[in-house]
Amino acid sequence: MTDTGKKRILIVEDDPNNLKLFRDILHYKGYATLEATDGQQAVDMAKACLPDLILMDIQMPVLNGIEATRRIKEDEATRQIRIVALTANAMDGDEERMIRAGCHDYISKPIHVAEFIDRIAGYFVEAGPTEKET
Binding region for Mn ion (CB under 5 A)? 14, 57, 59-60
- In the complex, which residue's CB is closest to Mn ion? 59
Q: How many CB atoms lie within 10 A of CB 15?
A: 16
State the minimum distance, in angstroms, from the CB of residue 37 to Mn ion.
9
Closer to Mn ion by CB, 26 or 60: give it: 60
Q: Min. distance of Cβ 43 from Mn ion in angstroms?
A: 16
Q: Among residues 43 and 60, whose Cβ is nearest to Mn ion? A: 60
Least separation in angstroms between residue 60's CB and Mn ion is 5
- Nearer to Mn ion among residue 6 and residue 23 (C-beta): 23
Amino acid identity at 99: I
Nearer CB in complex with Mn ion: 53/56: 56
Burial 102-130 (b: 16+ CB within 10 A, else e): bbbebbbbebeeeebeeebeebbeeeeee
User: SS3 for 106?
Assistant: strand
Strands 53-57 and 8-12 come out as parallel
**Can you tell me the distance from the alpha carbon of 80 to that of 25, in angstroms, rounded to the nearest whole number?**
25
From the CB of 58, what's the least distance to Mn ion, in Å? 7
